[in-house]
Structure 1
Amino acid sequence: MSILENPIPNEVLDNATSPLTDDRAAYKDSTYEIVSKVAYLIGVPKRIFDNEHEAPKVEVYNRLDSDKTARIIRHLCIVRTAIERNFKRINERMRFQYETILSMPEYVPQESINQLSLDGVNFIKNTSKKLCQHVVEINRLICDRINNCKKLFPLWINWDYIKALFVMPDGLKEDGTREAADIYYSHLLFYPYQMYINWQPEEVGNILYNDKKFVTLLYSWNNDYFTEYSKVSDAGSYIKGSIYEFIESSEKTVIVVDCENSDPYKLCATLKNLDHEYTQKIASIILFDDVHTASAWRILDSFTAIHVEHMMIERVKQSKSLVDVMLIARTCQEHYKNNVDSFILVSSDSDYWGLISSLPEARFLVMIERENCGPDLKNALLNAGIFYCYIDDFYSGNAEDIKLGALFKEIERYIDQTVRLNINEMFSAALKATRIEMSLSEKKQFIAKYLKTMQMEITDDGDVVLQLKRK
């Protein structure tokens, strides 16, 4: 295996940076959730998380450090990198002084070995006489366990791309470890915080600078393109500051939502990413919904602390929605009767300009969707000095909960409507058809043994098949 003749001191590695143009403008307003998780798993030192000027966030470190599956991968990666970085010195002492890596804490962190032992993981085999065999065993353990960490990442990111970072190519063979080590040693300063990952190293600066940069690079390494940037970025301080100022200067604020012309998942993401100090001052959210809109609106109240009033508007004619009429009428009522002076209107429909212009004493802030709002409404708002923002710009990576909640609710509704199977009725019909007579005791035993133990299988086509346990 190739080695560094003169290993670089750790303090030099920690402070090493690669020349790169300033990332701040290109990756403005990004989040740090994904890079913090990757940094934890590959073994980036805790002091990096504690440094407020570094990308990895200590709250993510603390969260993952309480997860056994994540902790095991982290410490396996730490030991693997330590061996790779100090291979020559460790190997010489093993060969000529008959030491084990357990007696070299200056090269292999003893705390990582101890933590792995506490978590029930031991990579040191008595049959391993060569140092590279320890690396092979660590690679095997990582391959076996890395999928346990899939749950830590959101559904929208391609897990296979993340997983590949941890799997050393041909890492279960000595030749594979040797080739990986050659690449690592030759480009040591390009690796994120000099921790080993499986990639083709290039001079792109800190790949863990923030989520937007990382996922863009991650997908490009896999000949793919990442386009859902709302998953890895959040609205800027100017937008949030303007919303906070609007709420703070209001006597009473209500959010009115045109559910026909807005997205429940984007609105949920927007509310989640606003400071609770300000959102708690919002009196209520009034949803004006139609039977043809997304069912997710019906569970929005489960994902916000703001009081939600859901108005389901029935149609007189199936071809004509009355949502806009009811929204306008209720907004006027809230203003004149309930003393609401400020409204956050969530809709991309330009028809509501009539409402805004007809209530000159009320204050409005409008939240729209970038692709669904035409220039006429935006120009009218701009000319009237009314602030508007895009709900698309808010970080939506944490909106998975409402999406899953909506899916589960619809799946449960479908099951309730579709599946109608009662085992007692089924058994009675079978007894009648076969003309078999059983005592009450025999019936109970049969049901307990054969019917209550039925197993469900799902075919490749998605069909559900119930199978009886016959033995």
Structure 2
Amino acid sequence: MVNNQVPEADIIRYKDSTYEIVSKIAYLIGVPKRIFENEHEPPKTEVYERLEQDKAARIIRHLCIIRTAIERNFKHINEKMRFDYTSIYNLPEYIPPDSMTQLSADGVNFVRKSSKKLCHHVIEINKLIADRINNCKKLFPLWLNWQYVKNLFVMPNGLTEDGTKAAADIYYSHLLFYPYQVYINWTPKEEGNILYNDKKFVTLLYQWNNDYFTEYSKVSDAGSYVKGSIYEFIESSEKVVIVVDCENSDPYKLCATLRNLDRQYTKKISSIILFDDVHAASAWRILESFTAIPVEHMMIERVKQNKSLVDVMLISRTCQEHYKNNVDSFILVSSDSDYWGLISSLQDARFLVMIERESCGPDLKNALSDAGIFYCYIDDFYSGNTEDIKQGALFKEMYRYIDNAVRLNIFEMFDEAIRTTRIEMSSAEKQQFISQYVKTMQMRITDSGDVVLEFKRK
């Protein structure tokens, strides 16, 4: 089977996938630009254009393009070099001149005077790729095993003549199995198009490394039926408000849901009201930084530490929004069945419910279905683009911890040291000592995670 054909089983098994990862891989390994420009092919043009602005990505791409060109045309290029004494620079019919020009513009040159054989050029390219591929690690999310990705680019034993020959033999004898006939380091076999979409590629990538990938919400998105139902609900509403039970919802999954809905529809949502408890995830407090919809926080204090009042306040405010502010439609984000009383009592209001698959019991889902109320799982929306809100929440909590745990003023520290040691120093001496030794203080982190502050001393 030619590598870009799509088996029927793949269409069913890998449906609703995203294309971010495969587009980046396709760019880096050197898949031709025309593939990106073809709307019927998986790699996306917007990813190509984005990575074209990244020097590290650009260098890896053009090194891989030239390596593939050499592998595919090794015999012809080798004969030209041996018998016609032709330089690799003068073979545009085999070596893409645009890639040579771009590498030169980016300050990269793999041609060495000592390179007497064509395989020496391949060795130099392999060396450059191995040295530089880690510069592209930042392009991929933390949840994806970088070592598995990196392995695709590093030719086995590729710094030796025997290694380059072995790789070339495997590549040429299994050419049709390689993605778009571009060289990568793998054991080629009939897999269809391994860059068909993110779900298929990541599944195979982990299998090749004797591992299993299970976090499919990172590489798939809710289907057209789910999104279409949400859009239809919003379109047929006069005024829509999202009410969120923060105790019984996940901020990262909701952020993923909102980000993967078309802004053309979500701009009609007037606000998101968060009913937050002091024990709820702190990420709720930064949600407004990651959505264009206005966010209102309702921080609910506890009368008793073991009793939350979130459900009472949510019900009260929802009724107020309906009767006082003329909100006719609510998107309720909660997996708590206690809100069925609210839904059934506001018969003039319309509800759409977003729940979590593992947190919502069958009773609520049956009641919603019987009442003809649409519900969907926020777990099903693509969550691979929520790293920024997760990092934002982590940094917020780490800064809070630092503020509570650490208070160090270098001038107070130095004055205390002067008093304790009874050393007399002039103002000029003090300033010089502080500039030379105190302000140059460095931080070191031990293997156990302890932070050590050290002075630079001659």
User: Counterpart in 2 of 1:428?
Assistant: 415
- Aligned-residue Cα RMSD (Å) equals 1.1
Distance 1:395 1:146 in 2: 27
User: Quick one: which of 334, 343, 347 aligns to 1:356?
Assistant: 343
Q: Shift of residue 22 of structure 1?
A: 4.2
> In the alignment, residue 423 of structure 1 is paired with which amino acid?
I
User: Counterpart in 2 of 1:230?
Assistant: 217
Contact 1:233 1:393 in 2 (8 A): yes
Distance 2:89 2:19 in 1: 35
Q: Shift of residue 18 of structure 1?
A: 5.6
User: Quick one: which of 435, 438, 442 aligns to 1:451?
Assistant: 438
SS of 2:456's equivalent in the other structure is coil
SS of 1:235's equivalent in the other structure is coil
Does residue 1:334 correspond to 2:321, yes or no?
yes
Distance 1:97 1:320 in 2: 86
SS of 1:360's equivalent in the other structure is coil
User: Counterpart in 2 of 1:132?
Assistant: 119
User: Counterpart in 1 of 2:95?
Assistant: 108
Contact 2:3 2:190 in 1 (8 A): no
Contact 2:3 2:179 in 1 (8 A): no
Does residue 1:162 correspond to 2:149, yes or no?
yes
> In the alignment, residue 100 of structure 1 is paired with which amino acid?
S
Distance 2:368 2:63 in 1: 56
Distance 1:176 1:25 in 2: 39
User: Quick one: which of 177, 180, 192 aligns to 1:193?
Assistant: 180
Q: Shift of residue 142 of structure 1?
A: 0.2
Q: Shift of residue 100 of structure 1?
A: 1.2
User: Counterpart in 1 of 2:275?
Assistant: 288
Contact 1:20 1:204 in 2 (8 A): no
Does residue 1:412 correspond to 2:399, yes or no?
yes
Does residue 1:49 correspond to 2:40, yes or no?
no
Q: Shift of residue 16 of structure 1?
A: 6.5
After TM superposition, the structure 1 stretch with the greater mean CA deviation from structure 2, 454-463 or 379-388, is 454-463
Does residue 1:30 correspond to 2:17, yes or no?
yes
User: Counterpart in 2 of 1:242?
Assistant: 229
Distance 1:18 1:282, change over 3 A: closer
> In the alignment, residue 440 of structure 1 is paired with which amino acid?
S
Distance 2:350 2:5 in 1: 50
> In the alignment, residue 140 of structure 2 is paired with which amino acid?
F
User: Counterpart in 2 of 1:3?
Assistant: none
> In the alignment, residue 132 of structure 1 is paired with which amino acid?
C
Q: Shift of residue 469 of structure 1?
A: 1.0
What are the ranges of 5 or more consecutive residues in structure 2 without an aligned counterpart?
A: none
Contact 1:124 1:134 in 2 (8 A): yes
SS of 2:13's equivalent in the other structure is coil
Contact 1:342 1:364 in 2 (8 A): yes
> In the alignment, residue 46 of structure 1 is paired with which amino acid?
K
Q: Shift of residue 30 of structure 1?
A: 0.4
User: Counterpart in 2 of 1:346?
Assistant: 333
User: Counterpart in 2 of 1:142?
Assistant: 129
Contact 1:341 1:361 in 2 (8 A): yes
Contact 2:3 2:177 in 1 (8 A): no
Distance 1:282 1:18, change over 3 A: closer
Does residue 1:381 correspond to 2:365, yes or no?
no
SS of 2:293's equivalent in the other structure is coil
Distance 2:58 2:24 in 1: 11
1:313-324 equivalences under 5 Å are 313-324=300-311
Q: Shift of residue 185 of structure 1?
A: 1.1
Distance 2:138 2:441 in 1: 29
> In the alignment, residue 398 of structure 2 is paired with which amino acid?
I
> In the alignment, residue 111 of structure 1 is paired with which amino acid?
D
User: Counterpart in 2 of 1:7?
Assistant: none
> In the alignment, residue 365 of structure 2 is paired with which amino acid?
K
Distance 1:59 1:18 in 2: 23
Distance 1:17 1:387, change over 3 A: closer
Contact 1:18 1:189 in 2 (8 A): no
**1:277-312 Cα distance to aligned partner (Å, 9 max, x none):** 111100100000101110000000000111100011
1:111-122 equivalences under 5 Å are 111-122=98-109
Distance 2:89 2:316 in 1: 75
Contact 2:178 2:184 in 1 (8 A): yes
Distance 2:392 2:374 in 1: 32
Distance 1:19 1:238 in 2: 23
Q: Shift of residue 20 of structure 1?
A: 3.9
> In the alignment, residue 295 of structure 1 is paired with which amino acid?
S
Distance 2:6 2:423 in 1: 84
SS of 2:351's equivalent in the other structure is strand
SS of 2:148's equivalent in the other structure is helix
> In the alignment, residue 62 of structure 1 is paired with which amino acid?
E
Contact 2:6 2:196 in 1 (8 A): no
Distance 1:16 1:295, change over 3 A: closer
Distance 1:21 1:311 in 2: 49
SS of 2:423's equivalent in the other structure is coil
> In the alignment, residue 84 of structure 1 is paired with which amino acid?
E
**1:114-136 Cα distance to aligned partner (Å, 9 max, x none):** 10000000000000000000000
**1:394-438 Cα distance to aligned partner (Å, 9 max, x none):** 000011110000001001111111111111111011111111011
User: Counterpart in 2 of 1:312?
Assistant: 299
User: Counterpart in 2 of 1:270?
Assistant: 257
TM-score between the two structures when normalised by the length of structure 1 = 0.96
Contact 1:18 1:204 in 2 (8 A): no
Does residue 1:177 correspond to 2:164, yes or no?
yes
> In the alignment, residue 124 of structure 1 is paired with which amino acid?
V
> In the alignment, residue 268 of structure 2 is paired with which amino acid?
K
Distance 2:86 2:270 in 1: 69
